Amino acid sequence: MDFRSGNELLKLCKEQGLPISEIMLRREEEELGVKREDAMARMAHSWQIMKRAVRKAIEEPGKSMGGLIGGEASRMNARRLEGHSICGTVTSKAIAYAMGVLEVNASMGLIVAAPTAGSSGIIPGVFTSLQEEFGFSDEQMVKALFHTAAVGYLIMRNATVAGSQGGCQAEVGSSAAMAASAVAELMGGSPEQCLGAASIAITNLMGLVCDPIAGLVEAPCQNRNAVGAANALVCAEIVLSGTRSVVPFDEILEASYRVGLRMPMELRETALGGAAATPTACELCKGILKE
């Protein structure tokens, strides 16, 4: 049940007549020797941590360690509850929740790095929003997390999820791809449509630099998680409409990896370029260092 590429994964899905989530779960059993109930229990634990992080940010907003963010998720959620959202319920929830998880991370709270701390809000934000809106059970969401794991595994095997190596496209882009693919499955999409959604999600954020102000995972990271969450939903919607990704997942993954390696060092998590090198960001950095 092992696979090393998107094409191999799709072949397994076709041969076994199974969705990507089930293929990944069986890989845990057959290739890694993990009992199914143990794998499910561990993933269920991760899912509960994700949901708690979302709720904590909404219900108990507070300042981050660096002081650059804090309370944004609660304000976004209040705007939706007041009927002012321009994004629609699912998307407005997803972006608020994604921003919230970054607040929890930046205030030393407990999160699940999926696949990294800097992109940890996207999957919880999207998944919690979908569960609330469509009534998916926790078991369905846990199965969907195995789907995200399959896509994340392929990205880590064939490219990178590290901002220091591939820029923010490797973090937020990867998480958005993982979420988009899983959402497509949850909403009835085929394995081909799922990886198509992942391909489009990566394409949309290809070239995104990693430029954290003061070197902290706060800004612009929080807003990019909101963008990543929206991107995931958009890409799932695109493929579910019947639109195909022009370039296959494996090819887009290779292309994005090459783009990341060609980025200047200053744009790969050093805080020496991009938004981090603006005059305002530099002044903020001085203030943080004084404190």
Question: How buried is residue 206: exposed, middle or buried, by Cβ count under 10 Å (0-12/13-18/19+)?
Answer: middle
Calpha distance 207→168 (Å, rounded)? 8
H helices present in the chain, as ranges = 6-16, 20-30, 36-59, 72-81, 89-106, 122-134, 138-158, 163-166, 172-186, 191-205, 221-240, 249-262, 279-290
Q: Distance of CA 167 to CAs 104, 139, 262, 274, Å?
A: 22, 34, 10, 11
pLDDT for the residue 180: 98
Dmax over CA atoms of the chain, in Å, equals: 60
103-126: average pLDDT: 97
Q: Write down the pTM of the prediction.
A: 0.97
pLDDT single digits (tens) 138-192:
999 999 999 999 999 999 999 999 999 999 999 999 999 999 999 999 999 999 9
Give the pLDDT score at 286: 87
Task: Report the percentage of the chain scoring pLDDT > 70.
Answer: 99
- pLDDT for 51 equals 98
CB 120 within 8 A of CB 96: no
CA separation (Å) from 45 to 38, 157, 175? 11, 25, 19
Which residue type sits at 143?
K
Q: Which pLDDT belongs to residue 31?
A: 87
How far is 43 from 146, CA to CA, in rounded Å?
Answer: 8
CA–CA separation, 64 vs 102, rounded Å? 9
Quick: pLDDT tens for 118-137.
999 999 999 999 999 999 99
* pLDDT tens-digit map of 46-71: 999 999 999 999 999 989 999 999 99
What confidence category does residue 288 fall into, taking pLDDT thresholds of 50, 70 and 90? confident
Handedness of CA 13, 154, 51, 186 (dihedral sign): negative
* Residue 290 clears pLDDT 90, i.e. is over it: no
119 by Cβ neighbours in 10 Å (0-12 / 13-18 / 19+) ranks as buried
d(CA 272, CA 264): 10
Domains defined along the chain, listed by start: 6-290 (1.10.4100)
Q: What are phi and psi of 270, to 5 degrees?
A: -100, -15
CA dihedral (83, 86, 90, 94) in degrees, to 10, reads: -100
pLDDT of residue 291: 63
Q: Which of 108, 111, 187, 178 is nearest to 148 (CA)?
A: 178
Coil, helix or strand at residue 190: coil
